[in-house]
Structure 1
Amino acid sequence: METKLKNIITKVYKVFNYTRPQNINNVCTACCLDINDARLLLTTELKLIPVELICDYNDGAQAYNYDMVEFKYFLPRYLELISEYEFTSAVDVSLSLKNLNFNNRTYWSTNEEVQCINEFFLAFFEKCLETDVYNNEAQLIEIINMFYLASIDVQPYLEIWLQDLSNFSIIHLEQLITNNFNYRGKIRTNSFIDSDLNSIIENWIIANKKTITTAIENQIMATNLKEEQLQRLSYLYDTMNYL
């Protein structure tokens, strides 16, 4: 999966080979983005721009008339950093790709670009399911929210998750349910998670309760997890009765 994702990032750099902007127009350079940092964004080789500068560019006050050509120039670096779990918002992980606006066909009318973005999101999500190394930075619900705020349809990714509830993927599900659902079986509100996404996740969990419960049973019986993970799965099994 790691090799697949790196190949996609290489492709992203080729597909989004936009001309370097002459000026930064998308972010306020009067107070949000220091003029020297703006200069660094424009003069540093794209692949070498540090995550801190991309975060400043991403999190600063945004222009009303957003220049997607400017954004697309920086997009390969965004995706490369995210693929390495260096998220491009210092405010919240879920805001890392808030300017992608993937449902806006005015911005996304080129088939090759659309395909490239879809390939990245799929490969990155599959990588997340196979590991927990990003847990120091984010939980999977925050990454799903990042997809959602980028105007990516999250439903297909939830179904991919459901198809392979083993090892780390079941642990991620345990974290999602244990940390985000209350004893009444309702997902807790979060200032960064849209209520519509909350509903999507809640309905998905309830609709697939039997499948999830069976997967938990199988993982507990397999006993190839750490003791702490087995305890958490046992607690999750009990929790599912309340959902």
Structure 2
Amino acid sequence: MAERMSGEIEGLYEVFGQVPRPLKVEGCAHCVAPDEDRPLLEGPVRGLSVDVLRRYATEALILWGGVPEFRYFLPRLLELAAENEFNWPDPEIVFGKLGRGRWTEWSDPERAAVRAFLTRWWETKVDDEDAWPDIGAVLCSLGLTGIDLVPFLDRWGRLGSSGAIRNLHEFVTTGVTWRTAGPKLGNPFWEKETASYRDVIAWLTDGRALTAVEQAFLAETQEEMLTLLDETHSALTR
């Protein structure tokens, strides 16, 4: 992924490289040791390891540090979380901190860099036949940032690759619980009262996803893909 997103990753480092290095990252006195921030501030942010950043990635904006510190570490946090390098915290937790930090109110260059990174991350994952983290985790992570998901869902709806077809099949057959009262997204990190959650449910139920599958079926020639599309169609029409 790093090669396919190199421009967007460098964009983050360039823009957020203007954020001053914190003198200290204050944390909850009961939860964070007085010198626990020292490894975070040694050397360039680009060189911080997963082990050094893991606890901060979990506690940032909750028990450890504020938005200025988070903006300083952001390029490395997103770079690692996008490929689930942390193992813990999950990418949903790390990307969700963008929403907590109200990134849509940051400066124009910062917002543009974050948006470019999120958009490119989705583009690389939605067409990836072996997406990791899986496409449901990626979609939830994006939703938790507060970004408008409609363009991302529209991009998925093109179903222009076997990866996009496989990912949609996996999502609707394993990542969604289909109930009489309506579908429920299975990822436990989803916040069900948000516009992002409602946008995904609407996409699955108002005919857009179904139309995308039907159009892809007409254009597809591979037997395996036709089978996946047929199973996806069945799930969407329950």
Same fold (TM over 0.5): yes
Give 2:98's aligned residue: 100
Using the alignment, how far apart are the partners of 1:223 and 1:105 within structure 2? 43
Counterparts of 2:108 and 2:159 in 1: how far apart (Å)?
A: 30
* Cα distance in 1 for residues equivalent to 2:149 and 2:232: 23
Corresponding position of 2:211:
211
Does the CA-based 8 Å contact 1:98-1:146 persist in structure 2? yes
Which region of structure 1 is more displaced relative to structure 2, 203-212 or 94-103? 94-103
Which one of 92, 107, 122 corresponds to residue 125 of structure 1? 122
TM-score, scaled relative to structure 2: 0.81
C-alpha contact 2:61 2:70 (8 A) present in aligned 1: no
Equivalent position of 1:6 in the other structure:
6
- Consecutive unaligned residues of structure 2, counting only runs of 5 or more, are none
Contact 2:28–2:64 (CA<8 Å) still a contact in 1?
no
Q: Which residue of 1 aligns with 2:159?
A: 164
Counterparts of 2:11 and 2:23, CA distance in 1: 24
Report the Cα distance in structure 1 between the residues aligned to 2:205 and 2:104, rounded to whole angstroms: 36
Change (3 A) 1:235 1:105: closer
Distance 1:192 1:4, change over 3 A: closer
Partners of 2:190 and 2:100 lie apart in 1 by 18
1:53 is aligned to 52
Q: Count matched residues.
A: 232
Aligned equivalents of 1:149 and 1:235: distance in 2? 29
Q: CA deviation at 1:67?
A: 2.3
* CA contact 1:28–1:60 (8 Å) conserved in 2: no
| Secondary structure, counterpart of 1:19 in structure 2 | coil
Question: Structure 1: where are the runs of 5+ without partners?
Answer: none
Structure 2 counterpart of 1:141: 136
Q: Which residue of 2 aligns with 1:40?
A: 39
Q: Which residue of 2 aligns with 1:239?
A: 235
* In 2, Cα distance between equivalents of 1:103 and 1:22: 20
Give the superposed CA RMSD: 3.0
State the 1:157 CA deviation.
0.8
Q: Which runs of 4+ in 1 moved over 6 A?
A: none
Corresponding residue of 2:24: 23
Q: Using the TM superposition, give the Cα deviation of residue 46 of structure 1 relative to its aligned residue in structure 2, in angstroms.
A: 1.1
What are the within-5 Å matches in structure 2 for residues 177-192 of structure 1? 177-179=172-174, 180-182=176-178, 184=180, 186-192=183-189
**How far apart are residue 49 of structure 1 and its match?**
1.0
Q: Provide the rounded CA distance (Å) in 2 between the counterparts of 1:183 and 1:106.
A: 34
What is the deviation of 1:233?
Answer: 3.7
Whether the 8 Å contact between 1:178 and 1:236 is mirrored in structure 2 is yes
Separation in structure 2 between the aligned mates of residue 34 and residue 231 of structure 1, nearest angstrom: 55
AA at the equivalent of 2:178: N
Give the aligned residue type for 2:211. Answer: T
| Distance (Å, rounded) in 2 between the aligned partners of 1:239 and 1:36 | 53
Residue 22 of structure 2 aligns with an amino acid whose one-letter code is P
Distance, in Å, in 1 between the alignment partners of 2:233 and 2:128 is: 22
Query: Does the Cα contact within 8 Å between 1:9 and 1:76 map onto a contact in 2?
Result: yes
What fraction of aligned residue pairs are identical, expressed as a percent?
21
Name the aligned partner's letter for residue 16 of structure 2.
F
